[in-house]
């Protein structure tokens, strides 16, 4: 790979790039061509130890700085990310295969938003004064200590920042392990944070598969684990963290409902369904992959959806005209193609797509199935690819029950022009991140996260501060101490 932004080595520890070729080589494949563009090496036990001991040692001094000082560094890092948005976006495209049209506006920019937002909050993290007659209690919002972040492969820059920014704002240090599939971007986040003034050891990145993640999660020096990944991995990581009574944030998968009532603006609803299924070629956890359409508008909705989906431009992700990229890996492509076959076998009606694109790379045409029923595999399991299931419904009561009939609870959306109904329905949907007449907006100011099997805790917003800090309460007695003897 000849890109100027290519990281210089596999790991970033104690403020510098570190290489250890004794680790298992991890080829980095560009999904648009299938070519290997780089190699990183999984962390050896020595690298894991170096990262953890460095982060542990650096944290205390970082926490002693004022919040304003910490925040200034985060905000400087945000500015650098914005200045380098183009090269970081190109790197994100190499890492994930997502089209530049997306990465230019959704990845380094979203990471910079998180650094700026939490940088701004860092100076305001105060406690309370609680009067108790002449005595009083005060509370102090303290850092948790050493935090581990583990990322999924779909948003490598964003996830590294969404976890790192609030962690650092609160005075924690972090060891971040990206997905082995997309190992490059988090290294640039570490590099930029240190260039902006973060002390060595505050934000470290090490590579590896699940076993490296496992070694981090079980280490007794680690105080908190924040994972973005699938539900099965989440269950393992949550259980391992519980052994050490560690704090956790789990941002996991979904099979979210998007409900379209017959009074909705059809084009807006189609736009919501497209954003909620085909952005990043469907590799988004919060996607509204069960699109419930009220029967009166079903055929009109499907016709408009097929027409607009036909406008997707599959092609070279580096060409800014391309609006639809490949799956992240050949393996993920095959998983998604397997689900498409299941949809056909189980009797869903294929409206468009349904096959691999006839071009190099791991492209699948955006796929829409209609007449999907609740029991079909494609309506029950998270596919993590461009496969939309359209289901019919008659009544509000019925659709709420069916929408909630899933182990997941990440997101939910409603399209209707009846605002009473919109709020009534959203009020009954079991989901953490909801949308009315929109889908998949994720501003840093809004809490993001799931209920049920989709996770615990929230990222972004002031909520994230609660998950990266703890409250110490101090009772202060002004008079004498009474005791029984
Ligand atoms: P995985 O669950 O396969 O992996 C997530 C991360 O955990 C990877 O870095 C992985 O390493 C690591 N890991 C795997 N096993 C362990 C273990 N035992 N201990 C510690 N770490 C481990 O998810 P994917 O990368 O496949 O990402 C897709 C999933 O992520 C989807 O289910 C999606 O819904 C979810 N997701 C959720 C989001 C949210 O915010 N709610 C956002 C984005 C995605 P490695 O891959 O290197 O083996």
Per-residue pLDDT for 2 more than 70? no
Whole-number pLDDT of residue 298: 97
Residue whose CA lies nearest to ligand 1 atom number 19: 214
Taking the C-alpha atoms of residue 157 and residue 75, their distance in angstroms, rounded to an integer, is 16
- Which spans in 84-228 are helix H? 85-96, 100-106, 108-121, 156-169, 185-195, 210-218
Task: Provide mean pLDDT across the span 207-225.
Answer: 97
Helix axes 67-83, 156-169, angle to 10 degrees: 160
The predicted-structure confidence for 67-87, as pLDDT tens digits, reads as follows: 999 999 999 999 999 999 999
CA-to-CA dists, residue 53 to 14, 177, 183, 204, 365, angstroms: 10, 15, 22, 11, 47
CA of 247 to the centre of ligand 1 (A): 18
Q: Is the dihedral of CA 284, 286, 292, 298 positive or negative?
A: negative
Task: Provide mean pLDDT across the span 285-309.
Answer: 98
The predicted-structure confidence for 319-351, as pLDDT tens digits, reads as follows: 999 999 999 999 999 999 999 999 999 999 999
| 3-state SS string for 30-98 | ECCCCEEEEEEECCCHHHHHHHHHHHHHHHHHHHHCCHHHHHHHHHHHHHHHHHCHHHHHHHHHHHHCC
Q: Counting beta carbons within 10 angstroms of the beta carbon of residue 436, is it exposed (0 to 12), middle (13 to 18) or buried (19 or more)?
A: middle
Q: Residues with Cβ < 8 Å from 369, sequence gap 6 or more?
A: 343, 348, 349, 350, 351, 378, 387, 388, 389, 390
Taking the C-alpha atoms of residue 315 and residue 329, their distance in angstroms, rounded to an integer, is 16
Percent of the chain with pLDDT over 90: 98
Q: What are phi and psi of 43, to 5 degrees?
A: -65, 130
Whole-number pLDDT of residue 231: 97
Whole-number pLDDT of residue 173: 99
pTM of the predicted model as reported, rounded to 2 decimal places = 0.97
Per-residue pLDDT for 4 more than 70? no
Contact 270, 299 (CB under 8 A): no
β-partners of residue 398 are none
The predicted-structure confidence for 398-429, as pLDDT tens digits, reads as follows: 999 999 999 999 999 999 999 999 999 999 99
Strands 35-41 and 25-30: antiparallel
Ligand 1 pocket mutation pick from 210, 243, 336, 453 by most atoms within 8 angstroms of CB: 210
Ligand 1 binding pocket, CB closer than 6 Å = 150-154, 177, 179-180, 209-210, 213-214, 217, 228-230, 233, 236-237, 251-254, 285, 382, 384, 410, 450, 455
Taking the C-alpha atoms of residue 263 and residue 260, their distance in angstroms, rounded to an integer, is 8
> With bands split at pLDDT 50, 70 and 90, how would you rate the model's confidence at 315?
very high
199 CB neighbour count, 10 Å cutoff: 18
Task: Let me know if 398 is a catalytic residue.
Answer: no
Taking the C-alpha atoms of residue 111 and residue 106, their distance in angstroms, rounded to an integer, is 8
Whole-number pLDDT of residue 5: 55
Percent of the chain with pLDDT over 70: 99
Task: Provide mean pLDDT across the span 452-471.
Answer: 98
Q: Which of 116, 180, 191, 251 is catalytic?
A: 251
Q: Which of 56, 163, 224, 255 is catalytic?
A: 163
Taking the C-alpha atoms of residue 386 and residue 283, their distance in angstroms, rounded to an integer, is 7
Whole-number pLDDT of residue 220: 98
Render 233-251 in DSSP notation, one character per residue: HHHHHHHHHHHTT-EEEEE
Question: Between residues 7 and 479, which one has the greater pLDDT?
Answer: 479
Ligand 1 pocket mutation pick from 114, 152, 432 by most atoms within 8 angstroms of CB: 152
Contact 14, 25 (CB under 8 A): no
- Counting from 1 in the atom list of ligand 1, the atom nearest the Cα of 152 is 25
Whole-number pLDDT of residue 6: 72
The predicted-structure confidence for 254-268, as pLDDT tens digits, reads as follows: 999 999 999 999 999
Task: Provide mean pLDDT across the span 42-65.
Answer: 98
Contact 440, 284 (CB under 8 A): yes
Per-residue pLDDT for 1 more than 70? no
CA-to-CA dists, residue 347 to 91, 290, 393, 438, angstroms: 41, 16, 18, 30
Taking the C-alpha atoms of residue 97 and residue 179, their distance in angstroms, rounded to an integer, is 14
Contact 207, 177 (CB under 8 A): yes
Q: Is the dihedral of CA 401, 402, 406, 412 positive or negative?
A: negative
β-partners of residue 139 are 473
The average confidence (pLDDT) of the chain is 97
């Amino acid at each position: 790979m000849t890109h100027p932004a290519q990281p210089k080595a596999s790991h970033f520890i104690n403020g510098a790039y570190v290489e250890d070729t004794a680790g298992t080589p991890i080829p980095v494949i560009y999904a648009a061509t299938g070519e290997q563009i780089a190699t990183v090496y999984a962390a050896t036990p020595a690298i894991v130890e170096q990262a953890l001991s460095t982060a542990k040692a650096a944290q205390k001094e970082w926490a002693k700085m004022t919040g304003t000082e910490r925040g200034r560094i985060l905000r400087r890092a945000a500015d650098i990310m914005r200045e380098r948005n183009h090269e970081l976006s190109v790197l994100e495209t190499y890492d994930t295969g997502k089209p530049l049209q997306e990465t230019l506006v959704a990845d380094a920019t979203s990471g910079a938003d998180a650094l700026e937002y939490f940088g701004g909050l860092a100076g305001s993290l105060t406690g309370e004064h609680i009067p108790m007659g002449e005595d009083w209690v005060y509370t102090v919002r303290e850092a948790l200590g050493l935090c581990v972040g583990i990322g999924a492969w779909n948003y490598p820059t964003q996830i590294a920042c969404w976890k790192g920014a609030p962690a650092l704002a609160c005075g924690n240090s972090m060891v971040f392990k990206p997905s082995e599939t997309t190992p490059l971007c988090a290294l640039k986040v570490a590099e930029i944070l240190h260039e902006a003034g973060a002390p060595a050891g505050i934000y470290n990145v090490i590579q590896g598969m699940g076993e490296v993640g496992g070694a981090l999660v079980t280490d007794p020096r680690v105080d908190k684990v924040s994972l973005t990944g699938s539900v099965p991995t989440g269950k393992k990581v949550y259980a391992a963290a519980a052994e050490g009574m560690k704090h956790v944030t789990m941002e996991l998968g979904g099979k979210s409902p998007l409900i379209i009532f017959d009074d909705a603006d059809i084009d807006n609803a189609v736009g919501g369904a497209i954003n909620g299924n085909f952005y990043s070629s469907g590799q988004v956890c919060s996607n509204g992959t069960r699109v419930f359409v009220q029967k009166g508008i079903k055929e009109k909705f499907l016709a408009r959806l097929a027409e607009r989906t036909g406008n997707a431009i599959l092609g070279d992700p580096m060409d800014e005209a391309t609006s639809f990229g490949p799956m992240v890996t050949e393996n993920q492509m095959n998983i998604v193609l397997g689900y498409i076959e299941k949809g056909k076998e189980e009797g869903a009606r294929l409206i468009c797509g349904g096959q691999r694109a006839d071009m190099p790379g791991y492209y699948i045409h955006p796929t829409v199935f209609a007449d999907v029923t609740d029991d079909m595999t494609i309506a029950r399991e998270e596919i993590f690819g461009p496969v939309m299931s359209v289901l019919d419904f008659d009544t509000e009561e019925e659709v709420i029950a069916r929408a909630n009939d899933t182990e997941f609870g990440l997101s939910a959306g409603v399209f209707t022009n009846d605002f009473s109904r919109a709020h009534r329905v959203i009020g009954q949907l079991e989901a953490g991140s909801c949308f009315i007449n929109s889908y998949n907006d994720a501003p840093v100011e809004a809490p993001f996260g799931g209920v049920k099997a989709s996770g615990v805790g929230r990222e972004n917003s002031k909520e994230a501060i609660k998950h990266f800090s703890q409250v110490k309460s101090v009772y202060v007695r002004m008079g004498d101490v009474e005791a029984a003897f």
